[in-house]
Amino acid sequence: MIRCRPTLPKGKQQFMLATRIASSLGMALVTLTTLATPSRAQTAATDPGQTRYERLPGLDQRLIDTSADPCADFFQYACGNFPKLYPIPRDRSAFGTGTLVAEYTAHVLEGLLEKAAGGGPGRTPNEQKIGDFYAACMDQDTINRKGLQPLQPDLDRIAALKSKDQLPELLAYFQLIGVNAFLGFGEQQDFKDARKQIAVLGQGGLGLPERDYYFRKGEVPEKTRAQYVQHIANMLKLIGEPEAKAAADAQAIMKLETALAQVSLDITSRRDPKKVYHLMAVSELVTLSPAFGWDRFLGASGAPPVSELNVSEPEFVKGLSRLLASTDLDTIQAYFRWQLVAAVPGYALPKALDGEAFDFFGRKLRGQPEQRARWKRCADATDNALGEAVGQVYIAQEFSGAEKQATVQMVDDIEAAMNRDLDTLDWMSAETKTRAKAKLHLVADKIGYPDHWRDYSKLTIVRDDAYGNVMRATEFESRRQLAKIGKPVDRGEWDMSPSTVDAYYNPSMNDINFPAAILQTPFYDPHASDAENYGHGGAIVGHELTHGFDDEGRQFDGNGNLADWWTPEDGRKFDQKADCEVKEYGNFVAVDDVKVNGKLTLGENTADNGGLRLSYMAFLADAQRKGIDLTQKQDGYTPIQQFFLGYGQDWCGATRPEQLRLQVQTDPHSPRKFRVNGAVQNMPEFGQAFGCKSGQPMTPVNACRVW
């Protein structure tokens, strides 16, 4: 998921290789107005202002563009009418199937948060926290009246810096409150021994979305950089710098960040676990990077004493040492002011700062015309800060045992399909197959919500302090993560809240995770046919499972350890097959002259392709078990056609060009159109189901197949 301004410590986000199903499904929400009620869609709730929150059915005939040829462009066929029915609202940079679900879920959250906010003295401790966090966020008047006052103690800490010798303690403090100036520090499972939890130190400190933003040539990237420098200057002015100093500081900060970017590892390389794993003694770190007091940094970091850690990008740490030695204190202080104000979520800042941040990161970078409604931002923020407290109320109200049971059945079917798929592979040796099956049998299925809820009792949430609340919540989460170092791994832990419309696989845990909010229609619709549900939700289950066996996941064994269990010959064959997808997707043009990055998206594309095939196999087994007649049409489509339409309609929607460019350059997920067409064109069964001729766009003669 892309978050231009993360509100939770980057520690976990940055250092985990977990792969999600979606890029930005649950990120932002939208208001729907005057839409006709679809025949099978349910209108779930009504706002006083006539806002409607719709739920799509498993297969939505309204979305199908029957004038399109499914063999030429299946995305257009399955989803062609979606943007006409649901145009991208002004408060979104993209809008699709998942956004509708996220929108509905936000509306549910709003109801329970409003209730908790108004609940009075009888509230449970968790209701007090989520209610007051939400209320403080909604209270714009108090936030505006306080102005810069809440930031002042942190600005004072920066101003008090008298020499570079004092940097370690300040940087350690910044890490705790989510300011990733100069570096990132956190906790991870040891890649080579997943039973161990260790400290990790890595690159950080950039304000633009990714290191290549500092170097790409061409009109758009150069304009973005100029706008970025102007944005830094505007923010510095808004926190009190005189205009000329703000302009000069912005230039110096850009120079400093560019130098940091120069020694940063690119986003594609960072997907390779071997390239971001360098376990070393603290003494080795000190030798590598002598210009910084690492012992003092670690001592102040909130982590227990450590003798070794993963220095994920040693070249960066080396470069950082040189850069700290050569940069003057005045520039470093200006950089800290900028990094601080950029790290605070906009809703907790006074209006002018919030608006300026949105203008650059929302309007210019993503092409989003307007901010989202306050309540939507606050519902999201509360879930970010207190996800498992919100989750308990959400689960009690929204999630039934029936949804869980149906998902358990689907997951079992799809894991059985993978077992059969492995048997049929002609390119893999018996030896590697045995090991692949061993890994498959160790995959842990986590469905809905955690068995044990997180304890927030030590986190203080105050009703009139939006800034303090988010900073304390961030520090609470940082300390919770760091406290894991040296302790046994809790395999029951979740990295997503139950109300997140998303799913993930974590290679160190070897688990697949489906939060309750993704187990709702249309991804799982109790009224839909099995074909529709396997196409929708089944493909998502298959996607996460396949992540355990994509170019990244396959490097980890069933216990979550980075250990090569492949014969060299099978490893070479895997790479050849994966390379077919790298080239195939790398030729898709996303926007203007910007093509999909075939290497960056390889893991997600492999998961989409594998997930679709596994779910297809599971559906066929299900149909046989239940005696479903595969030739019998319903609403004009055979069950197999319904299956593929269900899959296609997972990804309906449209994306603004600015957002599409950002996505292609920063997100390991392919744009929605290629998630559909790329996957079906690699499956001959699709062409057969729709009567396509060989050589048509969706039935190429040289289709790719990994799994």
Q: What's the number of CA atoms in the CB half-sphere (13 Å) around residue 14?
A: 30
Are 183 and 201 a contacting pair, CB within 8 Å?
yes
Supply 81's token pair.
Answer: 């009418």
The whole-angstrom separation of Cα 349 and Cα 140 is 9
Judged by CB, which is closer to Zn ion: 202, or 507?
A: 507
Cα–Cα nearest to 436, from 564, 542, 610: 564
Supply 403's token pair.
Answer: 């949804």
Are 610 and 499 a contacting pair, CB within 8 Å?
no
Q: Which of 60, 190, 530, 544 is catalytic?
A: 544
Least distance (Å) between residue 273 CB and Zn ion: 16
In three-state form (DSSP H/G/I as H, E/B as E, the rest C), the secondary structure along 364-415 is HHHCCCCCCCHHHHHHHHHHHHHHHHHHHHHHHHHCCHHHHHHHHHHHHHHH
Taking each helix axis from N to C end, the angle separating 374-398 and 125-138, rounded to the nearest 10 degrees, works out to: 160
The whole-angstrom separation of Cα 671 and Cα 676 is 9
Least distance (Å) between residue 651 CB and Zn ion: 13
The end-to-end CA distance of the chain, in Å, is 25
Judged by CB, which is closer to Zn ion: 249, or 667?
A: 667
Judged by CB, which is closer to Zn ion: 481, or 601?
A: 601
Judged by CB, which is closer to Zn ion: 338, or 514?
A: 514
Is residue 608 annotated as part of the catalytic site, yes or no?
yes
Q: Give kind and range of the element (H or E) at residue 236.
A: helix 219-238
The whole-angstrom separation of Cα 706 and Cα 683 is 11
Judged by CB, which is closer to Zn ion: 19, or 224?
A: 19
Supply 213's token pair.
Answer: 């933003």
Q: Please report, as residue ranges, which positions from 2 to 41 form the binding site for Zn ion (by CB under 5 A).
A: 19, 21
Judged by CB, which is closer to Zn ion: 21, or 680?
A: 21
Least distance (Å) between residue 599 CB and Zn ion: 15
Judged by CB, which is closer to Zn ion: 21, or 332?
A: 21
Contacts of residue 228, defined as CB under 8 A and 6 or more positions apart, other chains included, come to 207, 208, 254, 360
Q: Please report, as residue ranges, which positions from 582 to 621 form the binding site for Zn ion (by CB under 5 A).
A: 604, 607
Q: Please report, as residue ranges, which positions from 216 to 255 form the binding site for Zn ion (by CB under 5 A).
A: none
Residue 119: phi, psi to the nearest 5? -75, -15
Fill in the per-residue mask, 297 to 336: x = in contact with Zn ion (CB under 5 A), - = not in contact. ----------------------------------------
Least distance (Å) between residue 331 CB and Zn ion: 40
Residue 402, classified by CB atoms within 10 Å of its CB into exposed (0-12), middle (13-18) or buried (19+), is exposed
Count of residues that bind Zn ion according to CB under 5 A? 4
Least distance (Å) between residue 683 CB and Zn ion: 18
Q: Which residue number places its CB atom closest to Zn ion?
A: 19
The whole-angstrom separation of Cα 334 and Cα 227 is 18
Contacts of residue 90, defined as CB under 8 A and 6 or more positions apart, other chains included, come to 368, 369, 370
Least distance (Å) between residue 504 CB and Zn ion: 7
Cα–Cα nearest to 272, from 605, 654, 602, 693: 602
Fill in the per-residue mask, 101 to 120: x = in contact with Zn ion (CB under 5 A), - = not in contact. --------------------
The whole-angstrom separation of Cα 557 and Cα 548 is 9
Q: Which of 132, 530, 608, 622 is catalytic?
A: 608
Least distance (Å) between residue 329 CB and Zn ion: 44
Radius of gyration, CA atoms only, the chain = 25
Least distance (Å) between residue 22 CB and Zn ion: 8
Least distance (Å) between residue 606 CB and Zn ion: 9
The whole-angstrom separation of Cα 679 and Cα 542 is 13
Judged by CB, which is closer to Zn ion: 413, or 604?
A: 604
Judged by CB, which is closer to Zn ion: 1, or 247?
A: 1
Contacts of residue 78, defined as CB under 8 A and 6 or more positions apart, other chains included, come to 63, 64, 70, 644, 645, 648, 649, 652, 676
Strands annotated E in 261-387: 279-281, 308-311
Contacts of residue 480, defined as CB under 8 A and 6 or more positions apart, other chains included, come to 454
Judged by CB, which is closer to Zn ion: 76, or 655?
A: 655
Least distance (Å) between residue 602 CB and Zn ion: 11
When asked if residue 503 is in the footprint of Zn ion (CB under 5 A), the reply is no
Q: Give kind and range of the element (H or E) at residue 232.
A: helix 219-238
Binding site for Zn ion (CB under 5 A): 19, 21, 604, 607
User: Which residues are known catalytic residues?
Assistant: 544, 608
